[in-house]
């Protein structure tokens, strides 16, 4: 989740998670790996659209599509940081 969180940086997360909100940073399981992503959108089908905070190098819903909410294992509660403003439309993805 560069540039928001650095590799090896300590975070505190809670899980299991019963609900998430747009803007939350979550830990999700996909393809046998755990990933940290930011919730960008929620839909009525209990699915999430997630984005990484480094759009030029992130594998997120622009590639993976909508993900079931059941893939969320935890929500980051500390440190709570806002995403830096970034125009995702310029990434060509």
- Assess if residue 55 is contained within a domain: yes
**What CATH number corresponds to the domain at position 61?**
2.10.109.10
pLDDT at residue 55, rounded to an integer: 86
**pLDDT string in tens for the chain (93-residue length):** 888 888 889 999 999 999 999 999 999 999 999 999 999 999 999 999 999 988 889 999 999 999 999 999 999 999 887 766 555 555 544
**Structural domain containing residue 31:** 12-79
- Assess if residue 90 is contained within a domain: no
pLDDT at residue 84, rounded to an integer: 62
For residue 27, which phi and psi values (nearest 5 degrees)? Answer: -110, 125
- Assess if residue 38 is contained within a domain: yes
pLDDT at residue 3, rounded to an integer: 84
Q: Closest Cα partner for 13 from 28, 30, 27, 33?
A: 27
How many structural domains comprise the chain? 1
- Assess if residue 40 is contained within a domain: yes
- Assess if residue 20 is contained within a domain: yes
The dihedral built from the CA positions of residue 30, 34, 37 and 41, taken in this order, carries a sign that is positive
- Assess if residue 53 is contained within a domain: yes
pTM above 0.75, yes or no: yes
Calculate the CA 27 to chain-centre distance.
Answer: 7
């Amino acid at each position: 989740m560069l540039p928001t969180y650095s590799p090896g940086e300590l975070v505190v997360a809670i899980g299991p998670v019963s609900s998430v909100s747009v803007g939350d940073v979550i830990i999700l399981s996909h393809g046998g790996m755990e990933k940290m992503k930011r919730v960008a959108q929620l839909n009525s089908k209990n699915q999430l659209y997630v984005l990484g905070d480094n759009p030029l190098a992130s594998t997120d819903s622009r590639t993976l599509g909508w993900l079931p909410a059941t893939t969320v294992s935890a929500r980051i509660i500390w440190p709570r940081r806002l995403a830096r403003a970034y125009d995702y439309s310029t990434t060509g993805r």
